């Protein structure tokens, strides 16, 4: 049976087929548009692509949005599994006492990081939120941080002060106009958090971890993090690992 994996975020959904050997096929991204997620999924995933297939879903979206996705999947897939955070799986042991309080996207990112080799990683997701998680070379999760992403910072500023645009501007260390100052401040806040996390991780572990960047906003920060590895499909990679482990969601 063909398998598909679905990463349901707050602003978009990503999906990819999973080959029998564990490799991910080409991913598609579907924004949560005004017309509803069902019509967007119909356009992105033709009926033939999902025939006689099973779906594995990870969602950090609202209950209503998750339900809409699952309802659509039920019309197209023979079975549906929901990925959930586990206290330990595939060589990863999480720091949270209550696994349900660690977002499944963060957990799956850790699984995917662990699959890249026995080394320490700082896993940074840049979506609606900015998430930071530290994984040591033994697969032990040391916890992390959550902050607004640059996009969310801009949106919050625009909502509080309409004269501040939610988009536009170019990063500069000391900007000379408002759009550039906004871009520089919000991107700079994210970069500062990442750089501090890297420094603190190095002190804790005695070795500087590798940096894995994923999420829709990762590409924008990449130029100022030259040592980072860009991994846009990291959560889907983690879902593929989950599927291979045969966990019953």
**Cα–Cα distance measured from residue 110 to residue 139, given in angstroms and rounded to the nearest whole number:** 8
What is the H or E stretch that residue 247 is in?
Answer: none
**CA 193 from centroid of its chain's CA atoms:** 17
Select which of 7, 42, 71, 105 is catalytic: 105
**Cα–Cα distance measured from residue 238 to residue 83, given in angstroms and rounded to the nearest whole number:** 10
**Cα–Cα distance measured from residue 234 to residue 218, given in angstroms and rounded to the nearest whole number:** 12
CB contact burial 138-176 (16+ within 10 A = b; e otherwise): ebbbbebbeebbbbbbbbebeeeeeeeeeeebebeeebe
Contact partners, residue 83, CB within 8 Å, separation at least 6: 56, 57, 58, 104, 108, 239, 242, 247, 249
Burial tier of 220 (Cβ tally within 10 Å: 0-12, 13-18, 19+): middle
Largest Cα separation within the chain, whole Å, is 58
| Torsions phi, psi for 124 (to 5 deg) | -120, 120
Question: Among this protein's residues, is 42 annotated catalytic?
Answer: no
Residues acting as catalytic residues = 105
């Amino acid at each position: 049976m063909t398998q598909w994996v679905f990463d349901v975020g707050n602003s978009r959904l990503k999906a990819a087929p999973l080959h029998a050997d564990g490799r991910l096929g080409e991913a598609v991204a579907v924004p949560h548009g005004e017309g509803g997620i069902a019509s967007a999924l119909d356009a992105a995933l033709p009926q033939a692509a999902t025939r006689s297939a099973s779906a594995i879903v990870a969602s950090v979206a609202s209950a209503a949005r998750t339900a809409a996705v699952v309802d659509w999947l039920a019309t197209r897939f023979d079975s549906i599994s929901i990925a959930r955070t586990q206290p330990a799986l595939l060589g990863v042991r999480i720091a949270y006492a209550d696994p349900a309080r660690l977002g499944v996207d963060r957990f799956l990112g850790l699984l995917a990081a662990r699959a890249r080799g026995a080394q320490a990683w700082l896993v940074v997701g840049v979506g609606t939120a900015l998430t930071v998680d530290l994984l040591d070379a033994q697969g032990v999760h040391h916890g992390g941080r959550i902050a607004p992403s640059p996009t969310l910072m801009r949106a919050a500023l625009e909502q509080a002060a309409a004269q501040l645009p939610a988009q536009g501007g170019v990063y500069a260390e000391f900007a000379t106009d408002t759009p550039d100052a906004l871009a520089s401040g919000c991107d700079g806040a994210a970069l500062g958090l990442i750089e501090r996390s890297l420094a603190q991780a190095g002190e804790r572990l005695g070795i500087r971890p590798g940096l894995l960047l994923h999420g829709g906003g990762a590409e924008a920060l990449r130029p100022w993090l030259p040592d980072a590895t860009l991994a846009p499909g990291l959560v889907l990679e983690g879902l593929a690992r989950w599927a291979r482990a045969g966990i019953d969601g």
